[in-house]
Amino acid sequence: MNNAKLAYFLDTIKHIFSLKRTKITLYMVVVLWLAVVTQVIVNRVFHEELRITEAFVKSNAEEMQSSIEVIAEYSGGFLSEEDKKSIIESLADAIGLEIDREIKVDKEGVRTEYYYYKKAKQATSEIKVVSIEQEEDAAVKTKHYIIVRLGISKSIESIDRYKSKIENALEKLGVNYQQITMQFDGTYEGSLTAAEKNDIVSLLVDELQGKKAIEYDEGDLYTVYAYTGLLNEYIVSNGYKVNIQIAITYNELTNRTKVTLATPILNHNW
């Protein structure tokens, strides 16, 4: 091979490897950017959930407690007695709850409940599978609902972690639709003035980048409904989007004022 042909061959090899390096470099850049974008999305979702907790902590209330209630409709068809118990056991396992006694059953008319309740020093846990018979198109059909309630007296920040665990466990069970209510409670000594109540509400709404929608002031009960774009879920009330509820109540017997922050709204059904 003469010098000219050798030079041409070497240049061709360099060009090929140069193109290959460029492709590899571009591939690595794309992979790294995808990793960064994915992490940003994960951090954003987690941070938005955590901001609710952080906002309430900034209220400087005493005796803080947090709770979560998840109501999901099971659409997987027939559930036997063992199936219902298995659902309760799998959810208990997901949140680290030890089932150390029998799962109870209550039957009343068309409604049947399989449930497990446990109260510890700093937490309460309740898991239910509720079955309700309904008449549809001249036939009796049974709808199943899964309810999980957790209440934490201390370390209220951990409620966000439990929320994710419950959602993941329900996803594995094939449950798609979920109604999730998060609630935070705290107290202040004595009866608060109108200005003090307004300051607390403004702090919580501003921290969540929200806007007031509806406001009721009945003296010992002050309720505000607001909306924030940080949360995906909302309801419509009187033509307004709502996904934050703040309730401030005064108890004369204890001489303490209770402040409650809930998303999307307080729910005491079931």
Asked if residue 256 belongs to a domain, the reply is: no
Give 40's pLDDT tier (boundaries 50, 70, 90): very low
Which segments within the chain are labelled E, that is strand? 62-74, 104-108, 111-119, 123-136, 139-152, 178-189, 210-217, 221-228, 235-237, 240-242, 244-251, 256-263
What pTM was computed for the model?
0.76
For residue 238, being part of any structural domain is answered with: no
The domain tally of the chain equals: 1
**178 lies in which domain range?**
67-182
Residue 23 in domain = no
How far apart CA 225 and CA 232 sit, in angstroms, is: 16
Least confident of 37-41, 49-53, 178-182, 201-205: 37-41
Residue 72 lies in a domain: yes
Asked whether 73 and 143 are in contact (CB, 8 A), the reply is: yes
Supply the CATH number for residue 121's domain: 3.30.2030
Assess if residue 162 is contained within a domain. Answer: yes
Listed in sequence order, the residues at least 6 apart from 191 whose beta carbon sits closer than 8 Å to its beta carbon are 250, 255, 257
> pLDDT-based confidence at 243, cuts 50/70/90?
very high
pLDDT at 15: 57
Please give the Cα distance from 260 to 3 (Å, whole number).
85
Distance between CA atoms of 160 and 55, rounded to whole angstroms? 13
Per-residue pLDDT of 183-197, as tens digits, reads: 999 999 999 999 999
For range 95-121, the mean pLDDT: 94
Amino acid at 212: K
Q: Is residue 7 part of a domain?
A: no
Locate 167 and state its tokens: 């959602």
- Is 38 part of a structural domain of the chain? no
